[in-house]
Structure 1
Amino acid sequence: MSARTFVEHPVGEAGEGPYAVAVTRDGALWFTLVHGGRVGRRGPDGSLAYLSLGEGSQPSLLAAATDSTVWVTDTTGNRLVHLGVERGGVVLVGAVAVPTPGAQPFGVVSLDDGTAWFTELGADALGRIDILGRVEEFPVGRDGAVVSMIAASGDSLWFTMNGGNAVGHVRGGDAAIAFTELPRIPSGPVGIAVAENGAVWVAEILADTLGRIARNGTLTEFPLPAGAKPHAVAADPRGGVWVSLWGTGQLAHTTDDGELSFFDLPTAESEPHGLVVGDDGAVWTALESGALAALLPEPSPESVGIRA
């Protein structure tokens, strides 16, 4: 693979910990400052705006909801907030409380029908917010599952069970949950994404492994270097997926058959977590050390003046 360039963009205050990232169709990049209780937005022009969720809040993961708004899980606040932009600033559109005390909402995904689904770390359950803002909860049926991150394809939902060494699948919102058991114990699955071809990829952070679940349900695992600690996974529109390697300070790309390429982040011990691919092909990751990093797209031959 050709060399690609990283550009880092410092955000927030020291120790606030950028954790998750998402892009909206208006070209903005949203991010959570998990230790700072704030959510930030980087506009298409590079401008930054922030909104505090209040003392004791913990904005964790987020997902694009509309062309210009996002859903954010406030894990310690036991709620989800809907944020948007007004006159360049981040504003609160609405907030939805989770009915179960101590549910600890964490992962979130927005579906095309206007609903949002989220995971509950502390209640071993999934939650659903309908278009009227009503919440319904669905226990996954396994104690200690620690339901973590979630992804969607159409109306199918996929989620990781960090404490249960398994991946859950719901084919349609009211269907029964099916499970894919992960053979490495402990595997500690966290990040999950559905690739363009429908394969589901999962980061097994405790096993230094990437798992791939084919459309027919077959599980294939691809070992990573020792200590890689894969965290987030993002689908690559050109094929395969990207994964952040928290333990080694890298991003990795894998093709559908497991061919891996590695990209070293420029700052040592930057602790990459959240991951998203922008419409322009740039791969953004949240560095808990205090910045957002963009792996820029490969330049085309025309853009660098190469002639055949």
Structure 2
Amino acid sequence: MSVTIVEHPVGEPGEGPYGVAVTRDGAVWFTLVHGGRVGRRTPDGEVAYLSLGEGAQPSLLAAATESTVWVTDTTGNRLLHLGLESDGTGIAVLGTTAVPTPDAQPFGVVALDDGTAWFTELGADALGRIDILGRVEEFPVGREGSFVSMIAASGDSLWFTLNAAGAVGHVRGGDAAIAFTELPRIPSGPVGIAVAENGAVWVAQILTDALARIARDGTLAEFPFEPGSKPHAVAADPVGGVWVTLWGTDQLANVADDGTITLHDLPTTESEPHGVAVASDGTVWVALESGALAEVARA
């Protein structure tokens, strides 16, 4: 597979694009984790910014509706629902939800079709749920010091990584008990996670330079990258398999369902690719902490 890659500078030097999400209206949302701001890029290339206030740390995003997103403010211990101002250009705060547990450090987030949002709590070893009325429930995962990190969903099933525990958690429906899949290598450091079109769950293991795939029947397979690749974020590819950012080698990987890996070098060295999202037209967007968004299109 050949691709074309164009980088679009965003933010100020040192602000660090980290998370990225694409809403159904074609807008690309991103977090400036070190700058305390969230940005939105329209399909025409216009960029708007919103400051979340002094000391804020916007981490990850999830597309919620046609034109809105959820974003976690890890240091602010809150989640924000963001959309458009009435003039359709600027970013507006549609709602703010405080996390009840002090210093829970919300990080990963996913929005479900029923209007609820689920998030992870790095500092509290728990999951959180925001219902359609804005009420919050928290659910401890039962593993102390597990550093619950990123989260993905398929229907009403949730999958999430326990970074310090070397495991993946699964909840089949919001009220079900949590099941765990132990990853074979120690330490594995699972971070990014995504559910592919065929239901397979893919997990980036940053400490072992490998990608794990959990099939629908529970079978686990691993696919290694080169040493030092540091796979970080994962996004499902609409045509099958996943895209993975390789933070340590300035690359983007496309991994087919059979494990075939195709590597794409990013144009800028030391670009530090982190977040990745795929738009409805198949365009891949990557947040480069060096200060840009990479737009990746199949040639």
Q: TM-score range by the shorter chain?
A: over 0.9
Residues 186-237 of structure 1, C-alpha deviations (whole Å, 9 max, x = no match): 0000000000000000000001000000001111011111000000000000
CA distance in structure 2 between the partners assigned to 1:159 and 1:80 by the alignment: 18
TM-fit CA distance, 1:48: 0.3
Aligned-partner Cα distance in 2 for 1:262–1:137: 39
Map 1:80-91; keep pairs closer than 5 Å: 80-86=79-85, 87=87, 88-91=89-92
For 2:250, the equivalent position in structure 1 comes to: 249
Shift of 1:108: 0.1
Equivalence map 1:249-288=2 (5 Å): 249-288=250-289
1:190 maps to 191
Q: What amino acid sits opposite 1:183 in the alignment? A: P
Q: 1:48 corresponds to which residue?
A: 47
Aligned 8 A contact 1:205 1:230 in 2: yes
Q: CA deviation at 1:297?
A: 2.1
The worse-fitting range, judged by mean Cα deviation, of 274-283 and 243-252 is 274-283
Q: What is the distance in 1 between the residues matched to 2:68 and 2:282? A: 21
Give the Å deviation of 1:122.
0.1
Task: Tell me, in whole angstroms, the C-alpha distance in 2 between the residues paired with 1:245 and 1:34.
Answer: 19
Instruction: Determine if the alignment matches structure 1 residue 98 to structure 2 residue 120.
Output: no
Q: Which residue of 1 aligns with 2:174?
A: 173
Which aligned pairs between 1:220-235 and structure 2 lie closer than 5 A?
Answer: 220-235=221-236
For 1:82 and 1:184, the matched residues in 2 are separated by 37
Tell me what 1:211 maps to.
212
Contact 1:228 1:248 in 2 (8 A): yes
Mapped to 2, the partners of 1:83 and 1:239 lie a distance apart of 30
Q: In structure 1, what is the Cα distance between the partners aligned to 2:13 and 2:118?
A: 32
The residue type paired with residue 98 of structure 1 is V
Measure, in 1, the Cα distance between the counterparts of 2:43 and 2:7: 16
**C-alpha separation in 2, matches of 1:231 and 1:7:** 21
Q: Distance in 1 between matches of 2:81 and 2:117?
A: 10
Of stretches 11-20 and 275-284 in structure 1, the one that deviates more from structure 2 is 275-284
In structure 1, runs of 5+ residues without a counterpart are 299-308
Higher radius of gyration, 1 or 2: 1
Superposed CA RMSD: 0.5
Amino acid at match of 1:54: G
Following TM superposition, the consecutive aligned residue runs of length 4 or more in structure 1 with deviations greater than 2 angstroms are none
- State the 1:282 CA deviation: 1.1
Aligned to 1:302: none
Q: Does 1:78 align with 2:77?
A: yes
Partner SS state of residue 197, structure 1: coil
One-letter code aligned to 1:61 = L
| CA offset digits 1:233-255 (Å, max 9, x no partner) | 00000010000000000000111
Inter-partner Cα distance in structure 2 for 1:255 and 1:290? 29
Question: What displacement does 1:274 show?
Answer: 0.2
| Distance in 1 between residues matched to 2:294 and 2:92, nearest whole Å | 25
Name the counterpart of 1:304. none
Specify the alignment match of 1:144 in structure 2: 145
Give CA deviations for 1:146-203 in whole Å, capped at 9, x if unaligned: 0000000000000000011000000000000000000110000000000000000000
Q: Secondary structure of the residue that 2:160 maps to in structure 1?
A: strand
In the TM superposition, what is the alpha-carbon distance from 1:52 to its structure 2 partner? 0.3
Match of 2:125 in 1: 124
Instruction: State whether residues 280 and 297 of structure 1, in contact with CA within 8 Å, keep that contact through their aligned partners in structure 2.
Output: no
Residue pair 1:14, 1:290 contacting (<8 A) in 2 also: yes
**Could you tell me how far apart the structure 2 residues matched to 1:217 and 1:101 are?**
35
Alignment correspondent of 2:160: 159
Match of 1:303 in 2: none
Distance in structure 2 (CA, Å) of the matches to 1:44 and 1:99: 37
How far apart, CA to CA, are the structure 2 residues paired with 1:121 and 1:5?
A: 36
The amino acid of 1:167's aligned partner reads V
| Distance in 2, Cα, partners of 1:24 & 1:146 | 28
Sequence identity of aligned pairs in percent? 79
SS in structure 2 of the partner of residue 266 of structure 1: coil
For 2:40, the aligned partner's letter is R
TM-score, normalised to structure 1, is 0.96
**Whole-Å separation in 2 of the counterparts to 1:254 and 1:44:** 27
- Kindly provide the CA deviation profile for residues 5-39 of structure 1, in whole angstroms up to 9, marking residues without a partner as x: 11000000000000010011111000000000000
How far residue 4 of structure 1 moved from its aligned partner, in angstroms, is 1.4
> Counterparts of 1:220 and 1:280 in 2: how far apart (Å)?
29
